[in-house]
Structure 1
């Protein structure tokens, strides 16, 4: 079954910004993280991302997140702050189970992903989104996936199957 969704944010960063103690604040990115499109490589992740072709993250190289989880926190938050790679509107990402396969097509052809594990929120969410964000995102932090196809994803309307 095909579901219309919207890709509201795409995030690629070569470095970790949220490491160490949240009280010390995030480390600045050397380049802007927002993208209007991303290049996906099967089994490797998103070109230019810190998890691309990283052996320890082979099954978790791409994180998909539902922006509705932020909407439910009750404030107008920038979806890039959660540092999830693909932020969607219109699909319950957290309803996916391990090893589910879904396809996302933003107009350049379908790209399949296999889910592997939840992306649990950490204490950094309280530091960058506001007090209570970590608790509010518990069980709603997105899913870590491995791409099964090469392709390109773009911001805007998309189809998820």
Structure 2
């Protein structure tokens, strides 16, 4: 669906209650390797995050993001007390902004500009790490894939802001 920039729906889609916040960064050094938590990472244009095994494979899935607010939902659906972000194998954990609203949008985190390309669907590995039904528990809560439009440094605590968005409040950073 293509919307006129002046349409009421386009205006609604560009209005956010507040910026989001980057809460956690994880790098996957190799396939099936344990994610490494870092406080900062370098986003590389059309590639992904430096030091991540997906970097350079495809620009459209260069970085994966997960909604922090979904962690308790996934934990409840799998019957566990809590889930660490690394368990779900996404690169960035963000809070305070709806990742689904960033699909097809450009947004900035730190110095980097990303574009939401597709939803990050779960893989069969979630059955291993979350137990039976883990795949279905993550469906609809898997986050967003993004490509790097402009490289730069990302740091835990950075704001997440949709490009050209009207932001009503300020983040609690």
Identify whether the pair has TM-score above 0.5, normalized to the shorter chain. Answer: yes
Q: Deviations over 1:60-112 (max 9, x none)?
A: 11111102121112231101111101111112112333x3211123xxxx321
Cα contact 1:94–1:140 (8 A) shared by 2: no
Instruction: Give the TM-score normalised by structure 1.
Output: 0.78
Who is 2:133 aligned against? 132
- C-alpha deviation, 1:125, in angstroms: 1.7
Q: Which residue of 2 aligns with 1:24?
A: none
State the 1:158 CA deviation. Answer: 2.0
Find out whether 1:119 has 2:114 as its counterpart.
no
| Aligned residues of 1:94 and 1:141 also touching (Cα < 8 A) | no
One of 91, 107, 126 as aligned partner of 2:97: 91
Say if 1:131 and 1:8 are closer, same or farther in 2 by CA, change over 3 A.
farther
Tell me what 2:145 maps to: 144
- Contact 1:6/1:89 (<8 A) preserved: yes
Cα distance in 2 between the residues matched to 1:13 and 1:140:
20
What is the alpha-carbon distance in structure 1 between the residues aligned to residue 26 and residue 140 of structure 2?
Answer: 21
CA-CA distance at 1:157 after TM superposition: 4.8
Contact 1:94 1:139 in 2 (8 A): no
C-alpha change, 1:88 and 1:35, in structure 2 (3 Å) is same
**Which has the larger helix fraction?**
2
Alpha-carbon distance between aligned partners in 1 of 2:83 and 2:46, rounded to the nearest angstrom? 31
CA root-mean-square deviation: 1.9
> Which residue of structure 1 lines up, in the alignment, with residue 109 of structure 2?
104
Are 2:17 and 1:12 equivalent residues in the alignment? no
Structure 2 unaligned blocks of 5 or more: 1-14, 163-173
Structure 1 segment 59-98 matched on structure 2, within 5 A = 59-73=60-74, 74=76, 75-97=81-103
